[in-house]
Amino acid sequence: MSYGQTPVQHQPRSKLSKTHFLSHKPLSDSEEEDDPRERVPTLSLGQCDGPTPWKEVLHRFESCSEANYWSKKTMTVQLKFCLVGAAGAIVHRNPHSSKWDYRRLVDELEIAYGPSSDHAAAVAVELRQRIRKPGEALHAFRDDIYGKVTVAYGDRAEIEQELIAVEVFTNGLGDGEVVQKLLEQRPATLARAYEIAHTYEPTRKAASYVTSAMQPGARNLGERRPRAAMVWAKDKNEAITKAASVANP
């Protein structure tokens, strides 16, 4: 509004239009062109390159499309262009993909990255061989297992996924004392298994350090160091005395 002009009186929106705006229903292609609601996205999409769990990608994408009031046509376009790498090749290198609707696109990605795919089978094999790397943070080890279980066993019940994750976590720790603690407490979730290991591991390391410091060999070594220093100092003083006596006969 510029100065000198009569202010425009805005009419309040009717209750019906407000209700219509808040209730999400994907627009049909015919409604899309005339509806003013589709604007610059209020939520931005990330990229999907394949390794990210497919169910996670789909859930995030559909939540974003719902918040942005996208039509099925817009959803198809947006999903195509957030696919990169190996996932993008499924669409961008297929000459027939231009005719795919949203449902077909999702089905093709499900075949490539869903729980029944070769990709999921390969991740399952990798998961069973997963061992914690030297120096790897405990939380990083846990997070990697979470992601791989979601990819390989996304079609299993949540409780079954948790049991698999706990088993892999326990077998891959490589610390007998911490593993024994987990076997005794039998955690039902990976979060609980991590909590036990995270609590016990620093305590065990501290106890191991104190125990090693109290070993007879370690104590004798500490006692020998001052003695060696005294002998060296005595020899040095004798050498200085002899040199002085030679210089002053």
| pLDDT at residue 86, as a whole number | 86
| pLDDT at residue 217, as a whole number | 56
User: Full-prediction pTM beyond 0.95?
Assistant: no
Residues of the chain with pLDDT under 70: 1-45, 50-51, 203-249
**Alpha helix (H) ranges present in the chain?**
15-22, 29-32, 54-68, 72-81, 85-92, 102-113, 118-128, 138-152, 158-172, 176-185, 190-213, 216-247
| pLDDT at residue 197, as a whole number | 95
Q: Report d(CA 238, CA 232) in Å as an integer.
A: 10
Please give the C-alpha separations between residue 16 and each of 13, 25, 70, 168, 224, in angstroms, as whole numbers: 8, 15, 20, 54, 90
| pLDDT at residue 4, as a whole number | 46
Tell me if residue 48 falls in helix, strand or coil: strand
Q: Report d(CA 130, CA 126) in Å as an integer.
A: 6
**Local structure of residue 7 (DSSP, 8 states):** P
In this structure, are residues 86 and 49 in contact, taking their beta carbons and an 8 Å threshold? yes
> What are the tens digits of pLDDT across the range 213-223?
555 554 544 44
Q: CB-based burial of residue 2 (10 Å sphere; 0-12 exposed, 13-18 middle, 19+ buried)?
A: exposed
Tell me if residue 245 falls in helix, strand or coil: helix
| pLDDT at residue 33, as a whole number | 55
Please give the C-alpha separations between residue 2 and each of 6, 8, 12, in angstroms, as whole numbers: 9, 11, 22
Residue 154: φ, ψ to 5°: -65, -20
Region label for 30, one of left (φ > 0), alpha (ψ between -120 and 50) or beta (otherwise)? alpha
> What are the tens digits of pLDDT across the range 116-139?
999 999 999 999 999 999 999 999
Q: Which residue matches tokens 């309040």?
A: 12
